[in-house]
Amino acid sequence: MSAPLALLGGAATWTGGWPDWPQAGPGAIPLIEEAIASGRWAISGDWTGRETLDRRFSRAFAAYLGTRHCLTVDHGSSALVAALLALGVGWGDEVIVPGLTWVACASAVLRVNAVPVLVDICPDTLCMSPAAVEAAITPATAAILVVHLYSAMADMDALRAIAARHGLPIIEDCAQAHGAVWTGRRAGALGAIGAFSMQQGKTLTSGEGGALVTADPELASRLEQLRGDGRRYAASMPAQGHPELVAMPGAQGFNFCLSEMQSALLLDGLTRLDDQNRTRARNATLLDDGLAGVGGFEPIRPHPANEVRAYYHYAVRYHVEDFAGCPVEAVCRALEQELGAWVHPPYRPLNDHPLYRPHNYPPLAGTPLAERLDPRRFPLPEAHRQADRTILLHHAMLLAQPGAIDACVAAFAKVRHHSHALAAWARSR
């Protein structure tokens, strides 16, 4: 404990390394080889006499989530755009978005020429505050985009009640919540449409990728056409060598399709997701307990209805006064050096995020919408307060052996013990 911080030249707490992410299971390579050998690498390719891996995965993922329909897409961002289009969100409509989330949640709204209305968060979960959502509803509101952030679900009971009261659809962004459960129902199955990302960092991944789920057959049909340039899977088997996707009357679509090699990775990943989620949750509880023993830390407090947590990041707040006023970047830097892993603060809130610049988006610049897009219009004091004292660990660290989790606790304790030296270092920079 008295040895100096690794950041200041001392020995690191842990040099044992961390599990890699992404991980492919033993089933991945045979499935990818199957996709390659099939001669059909895209769902828009010709029928080869066998069901696509896309359909196999979609069926498995819908069953896993307990919902009726699943459509894969090429990115989580595409899933959000397709969900907004399927719900008829368009020019000048307002979509309520949490102020603390990945920028794609707001930029997807811009892509359908609608206005992201940023709302503040609950300190317990870091997810959008239902009271703030209700206060932000206007006659122009067309949808609520709920995000389950890092490791906790948003209060779906309160949000669903508000949405029902105002006749608004909920899009559930589950990019960080594959497998989370709210009173017996999986995240994604609680809103009108669930949107998932399968980008490399996510807990179910094909490098890039995404999925849409819904219980509503009409929305499913619209989503399928939207992601396939207006085409859908044929109702009956096509002739060998003819495309299986067929043109249908209806909405303008786009190509948001996933490749068959990506579906192979998702089929493999889904078989391991629950086991990995259980390991992560077990280790997160060890961390919560260990840090409670250290003192000076405050865990996320999920809603009791959030029965199963899915960890995309382990998040914990520190009491700045117990850390000699150290800024969060310094605490993260010190932990990073102790642990040999990337440790970082949350996203900057979207009213101050370097990647969210709606006023520079050419299709809307100079239009009557431009002024309404200015993110500085939306005060987000709680998002800033929490972002300035929250430390995040990537979910792959939660797949480590318990000895590595003990080392995490020791590293947090060491940084707290040396917080005066760390504060002096931070001031000197």
Question: Interface with ligand PLP by CB under 6 A: which residues?
Answer: 75-77, 101-102, 104-105, 147, 173, 175-176, 197, 199, 210
Cβ-based nearer residue to ligand PLP, 110 or 175: 175
H/E run at residue 365 = none
CB of 120 to ligand PLP, least distance (A): 17
CB of 87 to ligand PLP, least distance (A): 17
Instruction: Give one DSSP letter per residue of 99-147, joined into a string.
Output: SSS-THHHHHHHHTT-EEEEE-B-TTTSSBPHHHHHHH--TTEEEEEEE
Cβ-based nearer residue to ligand PLP, 265 or 409: 265
Residue 302 tokens, joined: 């999920």
Least Cα distance to 166 among 141, 191, 190, 147 occurs for 141
CB of 420 to ligand PLP, least distance (A): 36
CB of 320 to ligand PLP, least distance (A): 26
CB of 133 to ligand PLP, least distance (A): 16
CB of 104 to ligand PLP, least distance (A): 4
- Cis, bond preceding 22 (omega within 30 deg of 0): yes
CB of 110 to ligand PLP, least distance (A): 14
> Cβ of 407: how many Cβ atoms within 10 Å?
20
CB of 135 to ligand PLP, least distance (A): 22
Residue 11 tokens, joined: 């020995």
Cβ-based nearer residue to ligand PLP, 270 or 320: 270
Cβ-based nearer residue to ligand PLP, 150 or 323: 150
From residue 361, give the alpha-carbon distance in Å to each of 93, 108, 339, 366, 424: 17, 12, 40, 10, 41
Cβ-based nearer residue to ligand PLP, 97 or 326: 97
CB of 79 to ligand PLP, least distance (A): 7
How far from chain centre, in Å, is Cα 365?
Answer: 28
Cβ-based nearer residue to ligand PLP, 147 or 190: 147
Q: Can you tell me which residue has the tokens 């660290």?
A: 397
Least Cα distance to 151 among 7, 9, 296, 316 occurs for 316
Q: Which SS3 state, helix, strand or coil, does residue 177 take? A: coil
Cβ-based nearer residue to ligand PLP, 75 or 416: 75
Cβ-based nearer residue to ligand PLP, 313 or 416: 313
Q: What's the rounded Cα separation, in Å, for the pair 388 and 327?
A: 7
Q: What's the rounded Cα separation, in Å, for the pair 408 and 397?
A: 9
Q: What's the rounded Cα separation, in Å, for the pair 325 and 320?
A: 5
Cβ-based nearer residue to ligand PLP, 227 or 333: 227
Burial state string for 2-14 with b = 16 or more CB within 10 A and e = fewer than 16: eeebbbeebebbb
Report the residue number whose CB is nearest to ligand PLP.
Answer: 76
